[in-house]
Structure 1
């Protein structure tokens, strides 16, 4: 039987915040516990001190003015105290920038091996919000990852970016999909029909949906480019600071607000097509969730989506630098039902083996154990 590990996860975000970092950490914790490992989570306050029986150490935090719903963890003596008390085999740094940097320093002082997971393009975030400091933050991110024992990147684009910043020892580690939650069986005909016939006219529309945070870094204002396509109804699933602008400028769209769990799975599966607008994604988990839901995908030919969408086979990629490309690509998919079916089927096949259990097992056996100097051990028969 494989040696069971004690894993301390220092994360920049955790519940009650809901985002890509939180979701990845949650799945990692769930499957570490299921496989007999012992995790500890260290995350910014506020929030519960326990997640499904796993202790969560909360540290001091501040809320940035431009994004008050996203607390930033501050360097805190609680990090090193928690690590020293827990005595982990390995420290997992989830999207390290602030709290993760403190976790890295503490781990190095305690002689603990570290695995850093690159997930958020913070310099790009600053650029999108028109804030200063992009170059200095990029250097800071690179410094953190250079000092970690191993950095895991989710995509080819992320690998190239960190490599260009001089970060060594880069390894690909993708993301899983909750195949127990997302699937075509959750499609609700009455929900689809309500969306398809909402608003103007009686003829049903092709339902094209966006799912995710409604924020500038997701470039959601580009949804306006497809909102008036003949025969198309846009459905927006999510919440964020761009919500009011979108409501004003997409008067014919349907807004569901933020959804989770089964409600989210039903929303995905009830779409005719899924579109993603952000071109600075390091991965783009919503693409995989749409594919798992049996929905054809349209995404930018940039960043993480390039690894997730084989153009013309498992989805369609548009050129984000070509003003008409998003609109023409969605129009092509909207008028070709047969193409939608082919892309949906191929996308579903692509994610069929990408369940989170196998992805977390890969994290443990190939990455945690290698930084510990342990050979990967086979599971018990």
Structure 2
């Protein structure tokens, strides 16, 4: 099978979308499929043998931390040269809308996947009004309406998208690297670093993009309420400067990005992973924390509750209630509860592998090809009947 992935984000960016794509590409290549990727030009030309074609990129005024690419005729040129069996438009918003357009124009099987819940982001960027929300949903429906298969990352998002009349919808299995995220990476040296040489403090880590929709600022009152907590915020993003100001005077460390073994150690060396965002379509980082043997303390949302069972594999709190957050963190003081949560979290994560998730994605590609074949056949029959 020849697969063309057109995506709004790829390496060297690090987020759940890129992680999922990289693991899928690795698996597809390993079983004999051919893959090409079209993405904003960030200097990457190949990945594990898959060609990466960069499109001229730029920064948006509202989100200057990363680069984006506009829809491009390059996508059509690559399609004509590569002749893919299926096109996967990942989060079609700008560049990936070209994948949608040319798939329809060239009559090629199309898979669209929804990873970023843009309507939920509007309020964080002071754009949330009835007209903007309606227009955004109309745009999303238009991009997904002709896909042979539409994919989302959680049952909660399935319900949301279904309610917006997006059809041919399925939930894509989640996955985690069980070797790269493992309790064995626990490191006293890393713990000393992340606690700023106060290893006896309870260490919470947040790992991800630093942006308003992540709601990291809501952790500030917790840090003021408990002086025995150390918070390590690992990552970077457009909200970093404001967050540094907000958390000034608290025992909070901003590390910037970490990768590879350093990131594995950061996960495994904490007491818990903290996840205050309620705007995620899934939040793969939750599963990474669990695989590292951490209980995840997470604000309540549909996608989050699909991954965490309260007081069994993690702790759920009300993201708008400080007392609820403080109570959730208080479980760190109970050694028996923590031991049970850590064991259960790792056990739960072991149910998910990237191999199974990637195999399922290939099956969706195959379904899209079958659906496109049937659609073409029905069109041909109707056309022939009209000409009789």
TM-score by length of 1: 0.91
SS at match of 1:69: strand
CA distance in 2, matches of 1:188, 1:312: 26
Give how far 1:352 is off. Answer: 0.6
- Equivalent residues in 2 for 1:216-255, closer than 5 Å: 216-228=212-224, 229-250=226-247, 251=249, 252-255=251-254
Determine if contact 1:173/1:363 at 8 Å carries over to the other structure: yes
CA distance in 1, matches of 2:5, 2:362: 13
Residue number in structure 2 paired with 1:60: 56
SS at match of 2:273: strand
Residue number in structure 2 paired with 1:371: 368
CA distance in 2, matches of 1:197, 1:47: 35
CA distance in 1, matches of 2:141, 2:148: 13
CA distance in 1, matches of 2:74, 2:367: 28
Residue number in structure 2 paired with 1:377: none
Residue number in structure 2 paired with 1:123: 119
1:79 aligns with 2:79: no
CA distance in 2, matches of 1:257, 1:32: 32
C-alpha change, 1:59 and 1:191, in structure 2 (3 Å) is: closer
CA distance in 1, matches of 2:221, 2:146: 43
Which stretches of structure 1, 4 residues or longer, exceed 6 Å deviation after superposition?
A: none
Q: Which moved more, 1:45-54 or 1:292-301?
A: 45-54
1:286 aligns with 2:300: no
**Greater fraction helix:** 2
Structure 2, unaligned stretches of length 5 or more? 372-388
Residue 99 of structure 2, aligned match among 80, 90, 103: 103
CA distance in 2, matches of 1:112, 1:347: 42
TM-score by length of 2: 0.89
Give how far 1:195 is off. Answer: 4.2
- Equivalent residues in 2 for 1:307-326, closer than 5 Å: 307-326=306-325
Residue number in structure 2 paired with 1:340: 338
- Equivalent residues in 2 for 1:206-225, closer than 5 Å: 206-225=202-221
SS at match of 1:312: coil
Determine if contact 2:195/2:231 at 8 Å carries over to the other structure: no
CA distance in 1, matches of 2:253, 2:335: 22
SS at match of 1:42: strand
CA distance in 2, matches of 1:220, 1:83: 41
CA distance in 2, matches of 1:77, 1:167: 27
Residue by residue over 1:43-62, the C-alpha shift from the partner in whole angstroms, topping out at 9 and shown as x without a partner, is: 12232222232111222333
Give how far 1:198 is off. Answer: 3.3
Residue by residue over 1:84-141, the C-alpha shift from the partner in whole angstroms, topping out at 9 and shown as x without a partner, is: 2111111111111122221111011111111111100122223211136333122211
1:32 aligns with 2:31: no
Give how far 1:180 is off. Answer: 2.2
SS at match of 1:75: coil
Q: Which moved more, 1:112-121 or 1:172-181?
A: 172-181
Give how far 1:27 is off. Answer: 1.5
Residue number in structure 2 paired with 1:7: 3
1:295 aligns with 2:294: yes
Q: Which moved more, 1:74-83 or 1:60-69?
A: 60-69
Determine if contact 1:60/1:76 at 8 Å carries over to the other structure: no
SS at match of 1:63: strand
Residue number in structure 1 paired with 2:347: 349
Residue number in structure 1 paired with 2:261: 262
C-alpha change, 1:205 and 1:149, in structure 2 (3 Å) is: same
- Give the aligned CA root-mean-square deviation in angstroms: 1.8
Aligned residues: 365
Structure 1, unaligned stretches of length 5 or more? 375-381
SS at match of 2:63: coil
CA distance in 2, matches of 1:58, 1:354: 32
Residue number in structure 1 paired with 2:380: none
